[in-house]
A and B are shown apart, each in its own frame.
Chain A
Amino acid sequence: MIAEAGLALLWFAAALALLQLFASVMTLVAGQSEAELGDVVRPAAIMQGPLVALSFLMLMWLFIRTDLSVLLVASNSHSAKPFIFKLAGTWGNHEGSMLLWVTVMALSGSLVALVERRLPERTMIATLAAQAFVSLGFYAFLLFSSNPFERLPTPVPEGNGLNPLLQDIGLAFHPPTLYIGYVGLSVAFSFAVGALLTREVGPAFARAMRPWVLGSWIFLTIGITAGSYWAYYELGWGGWWFWDPVENASLMPWLAATALLHSASVLASRDALRTWTIMLGVVAFSMSMVGTFLVRSGILTSVHAFAVDPERGSFILALLAIYIGGALALFGARASTVNEGKQFSLVSREAGLVFNNVALSAILGIVLLGTLYPLLTEAFDTKVSVGPPYFNPVGAFFAIPMIVVMAVGPLLRWRRDSFDRIAKALILPAVLTVGVIVGAVVLAPGIGILPLLGLALSIGLGIASLLPLLGRNLLRTPLATWGMVVGHFGLAVALFGMASESAFSTEKLVAAEIGDTVEVGPWSIELAGIEPVAGPNWTAIEANMIARYKGGHPVSLHPQSRNFTQPPMTTSESALSTRWNGQLYAVVGEEGGDGRWQLRLWWKPFVPLIWFGGLIVALGGALALLGRVLGDIRKAHQVRRIAERREDNPLGDAMPEPAE
């Protein structure tokens, strides 16, 4: 019954989406005369959220009970799996993760319909029409080609289990955070389409869209950071970014969202970059769709591609073509009707933001081409793979100037400024950047050019990013400014970690007997023993290592090589020891047959700063979002008070509107 109820709820929500689309399109076409029909648009959108969420809870319940009469549970779960993985296993498969996507989408649709009252009602109805149109595609995808509630004709005695690589606490957080990010961009897309349809592209639209872009950007940042750390310790390869197509699929929406975030800021406060912001809104959502297509179509093979099914791939490709093609056609038809915004001089904060927007778009294009190139050549029967030798230098070509502008831009004033005014403030970061380059070349001559520039720029950016606070009363600085400062500083921290990892990592690969001591960097590690251990659904051999940093206090490490029984598979569980200045990373391999064990050890100075920096960036976003939302609430409150005062004293002088 649970499965049937879940499916029924999903159908009901899809019907409401159809109603939402119909009513909003009719209202838009008919104009004011159909106001009654317009009244059902918001309630229809609001109801979908709870319905789909309930449907998702039904699926979770099926997984918790391990109901083996349901196909999805039988093929992806197992009764002996720990509870948390039964729960997280709900979205550790194709159908479940698509249901999660639709759930997040419906909930955010509800939230938009519930809280957004600032835009003209026609624009809101157009926005909700676009939202309903996008949702319908995903409902159709779920109901017609990925039904999560499908029953088996006869229940099976035991399930197939979950891919062991996914049996990690990361699974509980990584997909939901990324999906919230992806879906938030669909809301930004709907706003862009709504504003374009009703010719309302202006600061009010940017202010309504901005919290959604910020919110989804925060979640994308956290999702990417968490995914990177997860890959780092779970795969046992010691790397934190592999330019794997699936990683790129999450990076591309992030790049587009970063650009959109900044251009929406310009539009909201300066009324410039109107068409560009709309374009980025379309591109950002396109990138989440491309990401979903790449990951879910089975066109790529990776731990993320749960099922290879050409029908599903074609379905997503068709959705992609309809949404993106439709949006671009609308953009082409309407772009010329969008008025030019305010102008600005070549040296101004706007110009800096434009520069970085273009650089971000260039990097986005480079990543996109590099990701699609192997797929394109495969169509011509040439198999290639594209990796770091392409992405790192070509991406850095645009990333480095962007970081320089990032250090300077926030110091510039809006509209018009001069370099002379800010030159003095920039002396310190510039001198430090040059100092680090000279110092590194002298002290560590073998250092590569990219890590060298990364180290130097991270120091310069770190200092420069704090300069906007100079001379301000810190308590009275707006939260949004704090958000910018913290976000930019976080990027400098992450950049330092990345550069340090690639410049200073040391690696040791040895076959060691029990009792042997291995030196790696400042550490000496003794292999004290190897023991078999067992978990709930796996057995493993576990190494007992005693590590000392420069002969200091001993730390014990226990890397494992795990054998899962259901499905049969072996994984390496790395062991980490974190210090303030880096991380020791240990992996144990096979026994060589002569009593020696393969050990792989890395000392990675400052590597945790990569993820720590990522989290600081997300914190900056959260501060900015909080500042914006509080500001909106305060303003709404002010408007209400003025309206009340007017009612009390209708003959009094007209009150001025509150300042923006």
Chain B
Amino acid sequence: MSTALKPKHQRLVLVILALVVLIGAALLAIWGLRGQASYFYVPSDIASDPPEPGRAVRLGGMVQEGSIQTLADGVTVTFVVGDGEATVPVRYTGITPDLFVEGSGVVADGRLAADGTFVADSLLAKHDENYMPRELEDMSEAQAKAVVAETTAK
């Protein structure tokens, strides 16, 4: 029975317990974030310092002209994503987003396979001028010129 505790002590005990739990939650959250957050890569990052295969990452870049191919099953597409400096081949099984076209920006969630192909679980394409993956917005500003130069050279 805790009636032996004075009200002041009971409050203290409750506050300490609550703090312990909340700090525990924060530590757990930080630990979880370190392990589970998926990092954003552009193709040149993957070329210079690739993530270990199987780790969840995001890849953002421009879909290269002439690279989209639909495989025989009709639902798997392969394409090449570039940022003007490097390119990465990508494979995706699913219905592609509505504005997924060559020469346009894309963000792929997925992981790098052992053979260097990026296997995407989901694709985000630029929807319209008001809805664009944030990473792409920055990237296209910084590297749009390089991308344009590369895509027109081909």
> Which residues on A are within 8 Å of B, measured CB to CB?
163, 236-237, 276, 300-303, 306, 340-343, 345-346, 354, 358-359, 361-363, 365-366, 369-370, 373-374, 377, 382-387, 389-390, 393-394, 397-398, 416, 509-511, 561, 567-572, 587, 589-590, 592-594, 596, 598, 600
Contact = CB atoms under 8 A, between A and B. Distances in A.
B33 to A, nearest CB: 5
A366 B37 contact: no
A301 B131 contact: yes
Given A362-B24, A382-B40, A394-B32, 14 more contacts: A301-B133, A346-B2, A358-B17, A365-B25, A365-B29, A384-B38, A386-B38, A389-B36, A569-B128, A590-B96, A593-B70, A598-B74, A598-B75, A600-B95
Contacts of B94: 509, 600
Contacts of B109: 385, 387
Contact of A362 (B11, B21, B32, B35): B21
Interface string B70-81: 100111000000
B1 interface: yes
A379 B97 CA distance: 29
B40 to A, nearest CB: 3
A596 B7 contact: no
A569 B22 CA distance: 45
27 contacts: A163-B131, A301-B137, A303-B131, A306-B130, A340-B8, A340-B10, A362-B22, A366-B32, A370-B32, A374-B37, A382-B39, A383-B39, A383-B58, A384-B38, A384-B39, A385-B58, A390-B36, A397-B28, A416-B1, A509-B93, A509-B94, A569-B128, A589-B95, A589-B96, A592-B70, A594-B74, A600-B94
B132 interface: yes
Contacts, number: 138
B18 interface: yes
A498 to B, nearest CB: 20
A570 B125 CA distance: 12
A389 B131 contact: no
B154 interface: no
A361 B22 contact: yes
B28 to A, nearest CB: 6
Q: Max chain A CB contacts within 10 Å: which of B18, B29, B130, B137?
A: B29
Given A394-B28, A397-B28, A567-B128, A386 B2 contact: no
A354 B21 CA distance: 12
Interface residues of B, number: 50
Contacts of B128: 163, 567-569
Given A384-B37, A385-B37, A366 B29 contact: yes
Contacts of A358: 17-18, 21-22
Nearest to A513: B74
B130 A345 contact: no
Contacts of A394: 28-29, 32
A236 B95 CA distance: 10
Contact of A340 (B11, B40, B135): B11
Nearest to A510: B75
Interface in B111-149: 122, 127-128, 130-135, 137
Contact of A389 (B56, B58, B133): B56
Contact of A302 (B5, B56, B95, B131): B131
Contact of A387 (B3, B21, B24, B38): B38
A571 B125 CA distance: 13
A561 B98 CA distance: 9
Nearest to A304: B131
Contacts of A377: 37
B98 A569 contact: yes
Interface string B12-25: 00100110011011
Contacts of B24: 362
A384 B134 CA distance: 11
Top 7 nearest A-B pairs (CB, nearest first) are: A511-B74, A383-B40, A570-B98, A589-B95, A362-B25, A390-B36, A384-B37
Given A394-B29, A569-B128, A598-B75, A373 B8 contact: no
Interface string B82-111: 000000000001111011000000000100
A600 B137 CA distance: 30
Nearest to B14: A354
A361 B11 CA distance: 18
A605 B28 CA distance: 32
Interface string B42-81: 0000000000000010100000000000100111000000
Contacts of A387: 36, 38, 109
B39 A343 contact: no
Contacts of B137: 301
A390 B33 contact: yes
Contact of A370 (B17, B22, B33): B33
A328 B24 CA distance: 23
Contacts of A306: 130
Given A365-B29, A598-B74, A345 B38 contact: no
Q: Max chain A CB contacts within 10 Å: which of B8, B38, B122?
A: B38
Contacts of B1: 345, 416
Nearest to A364: B25
B70 A393 contact: no
A572 B3 CA distance: 62
Nearest to B139: A383
Nearest to A393: B32
Contacts of A361: 18, 22, 25
Contact of A386 (B37, B70, B75, B99): B37
Contacts of B22: 358, 361-362, 365
B6 to A, nearest CB: 8
A340 B7 contact: yes
Given A384-B37, A389-B36, A600-B94, A509 B75 contact: yes
Contacts of A589: 95-96
Contacts of B35: 390
Contacts of B58: 383, 385
B18 A366 contact: no
A365 B22 CA distance: 8
A177 B133 CA distance: 28
A383 B73 contact: no
A251 to B, nearest CB: 15
B10 to A, nearest CB: 5
A19 B30 CA distance: 46
Nearest to B135: A383
Given A343-B3, A389-B56, A589-B95, A373 B75 contact: no
B128 to A, nearest CB: 5
A413 to B, nearest CB: 14
Contact of A384 (B40, B122, B132): B40
Contacts of A389: 36, 56
A571 B3 CA distance: 63
A336 to B, nearest CB: 11
A571 B98 contact: yes
B122 to A, nearest CB: 8
B40 A385 contact: yes
